[in-house]
């Protein structure tokens, strides 16, 4: 993320004005268990992924004072397709890039994310790895388990969201207003094996979803 | 008509009265909480806080000027429709169709703003009613067609159409109400309908024994309903002669009509919530639930009052 004060101001204005206005007027969030959100970094906010708005919605849950610390973890190949897109992703959204598939080559795809947590930052991460079909779960990837296992003192907060996949699903550029339900789970810690952690996180997310009465969308 | 800051004087006095009543209610709630600290009155406190915000926003927007007032009422209709469409089952194929449903809102409120009654009154129940099923048919998916058409038509009527009657009353009321204008009529409708909700709650909470609709809205009792309607009738008879062209008898009758229709709007929305298996329609207003939970009584009271006053008082 840029140290340039002008870009930082742009980022602040983007989140304080544009994102908040869109979320307030076009969407409207009903947040359950807001008190479970971390008060400061380091922390991981782990959401289900259905829409390009997911990261922005999660970031809007946190006070603007923590904005400089908020970093969504996102796939490099999706954002760095053009220089403008790359600039926007890096400086305004403030993403931490992940090279998808680099784990198989022996590297650690989440090395930059781990560094950010050690600096006390708050990551926004989508354990499903990609936006699935609207409003359905995909199996969680193992990356989050490795990250939690490496930093067992960092809370990982599951955040279940419903409605964003209806408002702006994959493959559409047309935003249709829908209310969004956000349910925050109890923080989890990677004290056991990474596989167990991923199962625990997935179970927590499924339980949050099961507590909601969600309308049919087919 | 005497005016204060360009507003009918009676409306200004009435607004001051609302704030005085709200301040009094706040003091009572604070006193109850002081006598009995803890969680028991937390929700009542949240509700009272929200009343300040709602009454603040409503009075400010309505009194500022007519354009702001109409945009504000349109925004309420938009939030209500958004809440409704987010609650009911919808089809993926209708995502873009729903965007058109939202676009009906500015048009409907525009007809109200220019006082084009004939268009205002048929736009949603005729034109939109015909347009959306045809659009859905042209898009080609027949599975779930009837449900999609039914839920969208009812939703547009229950949110946009009914609530837009407030805007029409505000604009056209000037013609028949020399003492307090359209603002006076709108205040009479909205304030008394909301007052009736609170009055039913205040009578029902301590005295309620006999349930009116145990399957739909188990908290509604005959004691609350009758006490509420009687109180609203009384208050309407007292304030109506200063806010509307009606004398005290007609005002009291209008108050009774508002009480009954408000109750019907409330249980109708409750029936929908029961069917969908939700307790509140949303979380927009702390202590109250969603916006539909707050305007449910107005969805019936607004059109019923408009047609009552139109039949008897418009030339």
Of the pLDDT bands very low, low, confident and very high (cuts 50, 70, 90), residue B81 is very high
pLDDT 10s digits, B123-134: 999 999 999 999
**Site from A22, A26, A30 to mutate, B interface, most B CB atoms within 10 angstroms:** A30
Task: Look over chain A and give the mean of its residue pLDDT values, rounded to a whole number.
Answer: 87
Determine the 3-state secondary structure of A68 from DSSP: helix
Task: Look over chain B and give the mean of its residue pLDDT values, rounded to a whole number.
Answer: 94
Question: Per the structure block, which two tokens stand in for A155?
Answer: 């809370």
Q: Are strands A96-98 and B7-8 parallel, antiparallel or unpaired?
A: unpaired
Angle at the Cα of B110 from the Cα atoms of B105 and B111, rounded to 5 degrees: 105
Residue B87 Cα, gap to closest chain A Cα (Å): 6
Q: Which ranges constitute the DSSP H helices of chain A? A: 5-13, 20-21, 54-61, 76-79, 83-87, 111-118, 143-150, 164-167, 194-210
Of the pLDDT bands very low, low, confident and very high (cuts 50, 70, 90), residue B23 is very high
Determine the 3-state secondary structure of B175 from DSSP: helix
Query: Quick one: which H or E segment has residue B138?
Result: helix B129-139
Question: Does residue A128 form part of some domain?
Answer: yes
Taking phi over 0 as left and psi of -120 to 50 as alpha, with beta for the rest, B115 belongs to left
Q: Are strands A180-184 and A29-32 parallel, antiparallel or unpaired?
A: parallel
Question: Does residue A115 form part of some domain?
Answer: yes
Residue A50 Cα, gap to closest chain B Cα (Å): 14
Domain count of the fold of chain B: 1
Question: Does residue A217 form part of some domain?
Answer: no
Distance CA B83, CA B245 (A): 36
B282 CB neighbours in chain A (<8 A) are 28, 30, 179
Residue A172 has pLDDT above 90, yes or no: no
pLDDT attached to residue B73? 97
Question: Does residue A48 form part of some domain?
Answer: yes
Sort B104 into a burial class: Cβ within 10 Å, 0-12 / 13-18 / 19+. buried
Tell if the CB–CB gap between A176 and B144 is shorter than 8 Å.
Answer: no
Quote the ipTM score. 0.88
SS3 content of chain A, % helix, strand, coil (to 5): 45, 15, 40
Residue A172 Cα, gap to closest chain B Cα (Å): 10
Task: Establish if A194 touches chain B: CB-CB under 8 angstroms.
Answer: no
What's the domain range around B262?
73-313
Question: Does residue A81 form part of some domain?
Answer: yes
Tell if the CB–CB gap between B86 and A178 is shorter than 8 Å.
Answer: yes
**Site from A24, A134, A215 to mutate, B interface, most B CB atoms within 10 angstroms:** A215
Question: Which residue would you say has higher pLDDT here, B212 or B5?
Answer: B212
User: Residues in chain B, how many?
Assistant: 315
DSSP for A141-177 reads PSHHHHHHHHSTTS-EEEEEEESHHHHSBTT------
pLDDT attached to residue A135? 66
Q: What is the mean pLDDT of residues B83-104?
A: 94
pLDDT attached to residue A44? 94
Task: Establish if A163 touches chain B: CB-CB under 8 angstroms.
Answer: yes
Q: Within 10 A of A104 (CB to CB), how many other CB atoms are there?
A: 8
Tell if the CB–CB gap between B82 and A178 is shorter than 8 Å.
Answer: yes
Question: Does residue B146 form part of some domain?
Answer: yes
Residue B124 Cα, gap to closest chain A Cα (Å): 20
B85 CB neighbours in chain A (<8 A) are 177-178
pLDDT 10s digits, A24-51: 999 999 999 999 999 998 999 999 998 8
Instruction: Point out the least confidently predicted range of A101-110, A157-166, B288-297.
Output: A101-110
Question: Does residue B58 form part of some domain?
Answer: no
Closest Cβ opposite residue A213 in set B78, B90, B278: B278
Bridge partners (DSSP) of residue A32 are A183
Domain count of the fold of chain A: 1
What's the domain range around A36?
5-210
Q: What is the CATH number of the domain that holds A29?
A: 3.40.1130.10
Tell if the CB–CB gap between A179 and B277 is shorter than 8 Å.
Answer: no
Distance CA A89, CA A11 (A): 11
What do you get for the CA distance between the two ends of chain A, in Å?
40
Determine the 3-state secondary structure of A133 from DSSP: coil
A179 CB neighbours in chain B (<8 A) are 82-83, 86-87, 282
A172 CB neighbours in chain B (<8 A) are 95
Q: What is the mean pLDDT of residues B221-226?
A: 94
What percentage of chain B exceeds 90 in pLDDT?
83
Phi, psi (degrees; rounded to nearest 5) at A43? -165, 160
**A82 contacts A180 by C-beta, under 8 angstroms:** no
């Amino acid at each position: 993320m840029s140290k340039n004060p002008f870009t930082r101001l742009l980022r602040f204005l983007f989140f304080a004005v544009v994102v908040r206005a869109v979320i307030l007027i076009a969407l409207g969030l009903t947040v359950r268990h807001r008190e479970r959100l971390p008060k400061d970094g380091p922390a991981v906010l782990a959401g289900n992924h259905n829409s390009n708005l997911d990261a922005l919605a999660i970031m809007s849950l946190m006070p603007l004072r923590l904005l400089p610390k908020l970093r969504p973890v996102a796939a490099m190949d999706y954002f760095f397709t053009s220089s403008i897109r790359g600039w926007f992703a890096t400086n305004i959204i403030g993403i931490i890039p992940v090279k998808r598939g680099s784990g198989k080559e022996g590297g650690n795809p989440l090395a930059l994310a781990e560094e950010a947590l050690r600096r006390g930052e708050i990551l926004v991460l989508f354990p499903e790895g990609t936006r699935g079909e609207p409003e359905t779960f995909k199996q969680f990837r193992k990356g989050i388990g490795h990250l939690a296992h490496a930093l067992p003192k960092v809370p990982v907060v599951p955040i279940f969201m419903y409605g964003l996949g209806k408002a702006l699903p994959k493959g559409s550029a047309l935003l249709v207003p829908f209310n969004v339900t956000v349910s925050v789970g109890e923080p989890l810690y990677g004290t056991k094996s990474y596989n167990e952690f991923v199962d625990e996180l997935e179970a927590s997310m499924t339980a949050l979803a099961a507590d909601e009465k969600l309308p049919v969308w087919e | 008509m005497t005016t204060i800051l360009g507003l009918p004087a009676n409306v200004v006095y009435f607004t001051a009265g609302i704030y005085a009543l709200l301040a009094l209610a706040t003091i009572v709630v604070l006193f109850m909480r002081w006598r009995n600290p803890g969680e028991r009155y937390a929700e009542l406190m949240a509700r009272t806080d929200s009343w300040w915000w709602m009454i603040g926003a409503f009075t400010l927007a309505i009194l500022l000027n007519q354009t702001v007032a109409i945009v504000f009422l349109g925004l309420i209709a938009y939030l209500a429709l958004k809440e409704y469409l987010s609650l009911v089952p919808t089809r993926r194929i209708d995502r873009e169709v729903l965007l058109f449903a939202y676009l009906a809102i500015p048009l409907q409120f525009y007809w109200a703003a220019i006082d084009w009654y004939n268009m205002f009154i048929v736009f949603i129940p005729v034109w939109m009613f015909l347009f959306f099923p045809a659009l859905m048919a042209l898009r080609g998916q027949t599975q779930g067609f009837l449900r999609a058409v039914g839920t969208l038509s009812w939703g547009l009527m229950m949110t946009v159409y009914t609530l837009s009657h407030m805007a029409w009353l505000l604009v056209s009321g000037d013609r028949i109400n020399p003492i307090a204008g359209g603002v006076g009529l709108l205040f009479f409708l909205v304030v008394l309908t909301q007052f009736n909700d609170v009055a039913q709650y205040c009578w029902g909470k301590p005295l309620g024994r006999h349930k009116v609709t145990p399957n739909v809205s188990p908290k509604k009792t005959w004691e609350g309903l009758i006490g509420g309607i009687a109180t609203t009738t009384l208050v309407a008879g007292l304030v109506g002669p200063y806010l509307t062209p009606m004398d005290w008898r007609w005002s009291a009758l209008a108050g009774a009509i508002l009480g009954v229709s408000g109750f019907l709007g409330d249980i109708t929305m409750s029936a929908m919530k029961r069917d969908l298996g939700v307790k509140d329609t949303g979380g927009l207003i702390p202590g109250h639930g969603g916006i539909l939970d707050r305007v449910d009584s107005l969805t019936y009271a607004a059109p019923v009052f408009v047609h009552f006053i139109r039949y008897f008082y418009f030339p």
